[in-house]
Amino acid sequence: MRGQYQVKKWGQFARNLHTRFTMKRFLLYFVLLLFTKTSVFALSSFPPDMLVGKTFGQRYFYIDLICEKYLPHEDALTFFRRINEIKKLGRENNDRELEMEAELLQLNYFMHHKSVDSVKCVNMLKNLFHFAANENNTVFLARVNNLAGDYYWNTELNYEKAFEYYEAEYAIIKNLSVEEYPAKQKSVYNLGDKYWFFKDYNQTIRYMTEAYNTDIFGQSLYYTLQATNTVGLCYQKTSKLDSSDYFFLRANAIAVTVGNDAWDGITAGNLGYNYFLRGKYDTAAVLLQKDLRLSVNRQDWGCASGSLITLAELNLLKGNIKLATQQAQQARQWVKQTGEYPRLKSIYPLFSKLNERQGRADIAEMYRDSTTMVKDSLARKFSAMQVLRWKQKTEIQEEHETAQMREKFTTIALQSVSVIFISILLFVLGQKVYHRIRLNEGVHAH
């Protein structure tokens, strides 16, 4: 009963949210369609007056569309012709920020396709930071910080430096409205996702909570659903199942309201796993079967295998060995098909228990050994990343300390030079005064 009330409550919330979002998205697409038909802006099909002399918030929809539609799929020649058109527009209209917008897109392309060396990328980032500082453009500075974070996270694998840039972006945008910074929800979600990667659940909850509470003007519901579901997973990982239920129900209500079957299934499966952990197997089975059915319908074999593994565990507990074995074998096939190696840490213990129940102790032992190998492998990989991050943090601290010492030394040196200069100046002036006084005394003596 309590669950039904929660779904109804969040259903109303989702309907209001979806109505607001749909109207804004419709108006944006209508404007784009209207101007595209009359535009001579050939490659981008974007009207120049929608790009020139505009703030980031005003031109974001078009820039984001370039990043999502063209950047991942176009060859370099075609994409850079598009970039050059934007640069030309900026130069012809004395819009320096639009020119730099093209530079951002260019660097984004290099990073996405890994088509340029790190020295050039770093130099381009320095130029972009220099422009933002000279123009005192905090919004542009936030975006360069975001891009720098992506560069160090994805290309250099320098996680700690990436966190510095992501946090620097957040420090700027946290007090901006979504109209001023339409990428706000995406950026806050992204920061939370990085903490999730390192299993820092408290920080993940902090940023994901802000992300799902951020207005989704001009955005899809993707980040709202992702963020809400991730908060539920954090509470699940920390065994706070009631709180976890709350967020899975909230995400599920939004998914059902907007007709998103994928998220309807994912959140139902996550909620089902909570019930499995509580030992409420009948309720768990209904929710897990729903996720399994919807996952198979969209051929998402990763999600399908996750729910099927838990269903097999459930049937094993009920004593239905035959069905549990069939489900385990199917789940293993899907895991092999998707290559999702971490799921083996759930598959192998399941096969171990199944073989134990069927009197095949030697095979059960083999699966226990395999379980240990997978868990150790995953633990070593995660530990290695943590050690790398700690090392990176130490290096960054040393860099900061060196920079501070250099700054102090420069300040002391300048102060010393100033003191010496003033001392010399005072000495010279004193000598002049002294000679003048002696000269005057000589005149009076005569």
Domain span at residue 44? 39-160
User: Which pLDDT score, from 0 to 100, does residue 26 have?
Assistant: 47
User: Which pLDDT score, from 0 to 100, does residue 441 have?
Assistant: 65
pTM: 0.81
Residue 327 sits in a domain whose CATH number is 1.25.40.10
Instruction: Give first-to-last CA distance, the chain, whole Å.
Output: 118
User: Which pLDDT score, from 0 to 100, does residue 39 have?
Assistant: 38
Residue at 139 is within a domain: yes
User: Which pLDDT score, from 0 to 100, does residue 7 have?
Assistant: 44
140 CB-contact burial (10 Å; exposed 0-12 / middle 13-18 / buried 19+) = buried
Q: Which residues of the chain have pLDDT under 50?
A: 1-9, 12-13, 15, 18-22, 26-27, 29-44, 217-218
DSSP structure string for 66-86: IIIIITTTS-HHHHHHHHHHH
User: Which pLDDT score, from 0 to 100, does residue 446 have?
Assistant: 55
Residue at 232 is within a domain: no
User: Which pLDDT score, from 0 to 100, does residue 411 have?
Assistant: 73
Collapsing DSSP states into helix, strand and coil, what is residue 103?
Answer: helix
Which of 144, 160, 176 corresponds to the end of one domain? 160
Which of 136, 160, 184 corresponds to the end of one domain? 160
With contact defined as beta carbons under 8 Å apart, do 122 and 165 qualify? no
Residue at 338 is within a domain: yes
DSSP structure string for 100-150: HHHHHHHHHHHHHHT-S-HHHHHHHHHHHHHHHHHHT-HHHHHHHHHHHHH
User: Which pLDDT score, from 0 to 100, does residue 1 have?
Assistant: 34
What is the number of domains present in the chain? 2
Residue at 187 is within a domain: no
Residue at 307 is within a domain: yes
With contact defined as beta carbons under 8 Å apart, do 24 and 17 qualify? no
Residue at 382 is within a domain: yes
With contact defined as beta carbons under 8 Å apart, do 396 and 162 qualify? no
Which of 120, 140, 160 corresponds to the end of one domain? 160
Model confidence pLDDT, tens digit, residues 188-221: 999 999 999 999 999 999 999 999 998 654 456 8
Residue at 364 is within a domain: yes
Residue at 406 is within a domain: no
User: Which pLDDT score, from 0 to 100, does residue 2 have?
Assistant: 30
